[in-house]
Chain A
Amino acid sequence: MNRLPLLFVGIFLTFASSWAGLVVYPYLNLGRLAPVTDEATGNVVPPPLSGLANAGQRVYAASGCVYCHSQQVRPAYLSTDIQKGLGARRTVSRDYIRSKPAFLGTMRTGPDLTNVGLRYTAEWQHRHLYEPAEVSKGSIMPAFRYLYRMQKIQGAPSADALKGLTGPHAPPPGYEVVPTEDARALVAYLLSLKRDYALPEAPEEKIP
């Protein structure tokens, strides 16, 4: 092939087509979705994240949770996600407008976290992050003990000390385990993960 202008133009145009379709279009459309008001409840959805939950996204990113946990529920015609209880409806673009970044994920080495905020309490999350295998038998999730501090109890135990810890890393008598700021932020973020509101474009799906 010696017609070089053709080569250059072809290299440019083929690539530009995908750039327009998969970059510019999502940027102009999905990237500009706005929250809506839920007519039944009058709430703005998706709800904004608290400051602490927002900070928790950074801990989530730094810890690489996304490599094992997805945050997307596929529609019923394409998967059994809804039957398996991952959520009452599929997730759509508008669900993610508050996410920085959108942790969609590509692996389910661990369970999907789209609605994890509906399933567990803060207390459970802290104990689980501290020593996953003690809370969830057979789990291969790494422990995030570095997000916690073990300290000597000074006078009365701290209000936020983890309760009911078992296993080799449970604090010895006279000691307690308290969450760091990062752990609190991460748990606040995990608790914020719930798609329990309705969106006009994503009605609850009937299982076929």
Chain B
Amino acid sequence: MTTLAQSLNPNAGAPVRDAYERAEIDASARVPVLLFFGSAIFWLLVGSLLALVAAFKMNLPWLLDSEPWLTFGRVRPAHLNTVVYGWASSAGIGVGLWLMARLCRVPVLHSSLLIVAGIFWNLGVLVGTLGILAGDSRSIEWLEFPGYATPILFIAYAFIGIWGVIMFRFRKPGHVYVSQWYLLAAFIWFPWLYATVNILLIWQPIQGSAQGAVNWWFAHNVLGLWFTPIGLASAYYMIPKVIGRPIHSYYLSILGFWSLALFYSWNGMHHLIGGPFPAWLISASVVASVMMFIPVITVAINHHMTMRGHFEALKWSPTLRFTVFGAMSYTLASFQGSLMAIPSLNTITHFTDYTIGHSHLGLYAFFTMMMFGAMYYIIPRLTGWEWPSANLIRWHFWLAASGIILMIGSLTIGGVIQGFALYDPGVNFMTSLQLATPFRWARSVSGLLLTTAHVIFAWHFGMMVLRAGKRRSEPTLFARPLQPKEAAVA
């Protein structure tokens, strides 16, 4: 923001030039990024609906049980894959590309190719989801899409990833910011992950339990080395931007990045503790999981110290409120993950709803909330239109926050109770089921809250694309900020 003194300064060309540069970048990113956001929100709605069906089927098993394509064992993987590849990946690609363009200070070149890649990505998700519902699921967790859908996704992704790396290659000279490291790494790690499992699990499946190891190496790293870096890149960008001060410590960000790269990639086998594998393989993952305390504490301190003294801004900035919710959930999810990997605790929580709660803490409370926050920041810059209603954002936030807290709370408590019942040799199996029942009802209710939040967000996004509502000259905030100069960057 230029002050009066600056604008009277004869050397004041730079801010104006910067503003033009930003406008040019945003214009070049408009169509591809809005395409990824729009399709992400579409898949979020589809995924929510599938989740509701799956959740209520656990309460009412007779529900919709005459059609093969609506059986629980197909709806559940259809939910997982639509939210992972349809929602989270598309949202992450949109946010990642926009951040990369802005931080590299280069416009998105040949955006039409990205648009084609985006269309193919969605085609892949559609074909894969229909394939699961039609009975072609692989039943390999996180990789249920049949072999005729995954190549479409891979080729589409290859273009997107290459675009991210090319932007980095053509960046304007200057410091490479921490968000760029994370994005660059994510753009490189994901195709490596996906190509490996496509070859070893889908096209030429390897033998026996080796599949399990490769499966969880992949599934855990999709969260750890694809979604997490994009989420953290967004947090590292949004928090300083909104409160208008630099990140607390450069050295902490270096430590956080490298320890994440080293330890997270080794975590996968903690999903298979006690499974048919050599002990060292499992132990390596348990150790790496506990070592995750290092990157997580580092990032948490760095973000907290940046925010210190500026928590007031949570009252007015939608972006910041979602982002800080996501950042705090990241700390919580990772702490929980490290503890769950300890074998004596894992023996209780393994095979229970506790794990489902944990995965929603990671993929929803952390990543999805982070993406909502980033979208509230980015979309007005792409459409040249401010969010029509602060109230809709408020409803979106509180429904999503209360829904996810209810979901994780009920699955966590219910999971522990279920886990003790499964552990106790004196308790029969059916008791573990009965004990979990009330918590599974609470989870279904939480699904209704979350779906409502998503419908509100989708409606609001539609208004943004159509530029509906009153023209506003200022960002849409929850309240008037205390310091007016900070409003400019909300």
Would you call B276 and A64 a contact (CB within 8 A)? no
A7–B181 touching, CB < 8 Å: yes
B274 near A70 (CB under 8 angstroms)? no
Asked if A61 and B422 sit within 8 Å, CB to CB, the answer is: no
Closest to B355 in A: A106
1/0 per position for A72-108, CB-CB distance to B under 8 A? Answer: 1011001111011000001111111111111111111
A138 to B181, CA, bound (A): 52
Task: Judge whether A75 and B212 touch: CB under 8 Å.
Answer: no
Chain B minimum-CB-distance residue to A25: B281
**Is A141 an interface residue, CB under 8 A from the partner?**
yes
Contacts A67-B76, A78-B274 hold; do A1 and B265 have CB atoms under 8 A apart?
Answer: no
Q: Are B140 and A101 interface neighbours, CB within 8 A?
A: yes
Among B314-322, B361-369, B394-402, B425-433, the one that faces the other chain is B425-433
Q: Is A197 an interface residue (CB 8 A)?
A: no
* Minimum C-beta distance from A165 to chain B (A): 16
Return chain A residues, CB-CB under 8 Å to B353: 109
B contact residues around A25 at 8 Å (CB): 281
Residue contact A141 to B136, C-beta cutoff 8 Å: no
Chain A 100-120 interface mask (CB, 8 Å, partner B; 1/0): 111111111101000000000
Whether A106 contacts B141 by the Cβ 8 Å rule is yes
Complex contact B184–A11 (CB within 8 A): yes
Tell me how many residues of B have a C-beta within 8 Å of chain A. 83
**Main SS of the interface on chain B?**
helix
- B217: A residues at CB distance < 8 A: 18-19, 22-23
Q: Closest 10 interchain pairs by CB?
A: A64-B73, A74-B274, A18-B265, A108-B351, A61-B139, A96-B208, A31-B210, A14-B261, A26-B213, A62-B135
Interface residues of B (CB under 8 A from A): 57-59, 61-62, 65-68, 71-74, 76-77, 135-141, 175-176, 178, 181, 184-185, 188-189, 192, 196, 200-201, 205-214, 217, 221, 225, 254, 258, 261-262, 265-266, 268-269, 271-278, 281, 284-285, 343, 347, 350-353, 355-356, 422-425, 429-430, 432-434
Which A residues are within 8 Å of any B CB, using their own CB? Answer: 1-2, 4, 7, 10-12, 14-15, 17-19, 21-23, 25-27, 29-33, 60-68, 70, 72, 74-75, 78-81, 83-84, 90-109, 111, 132-133, 136-146
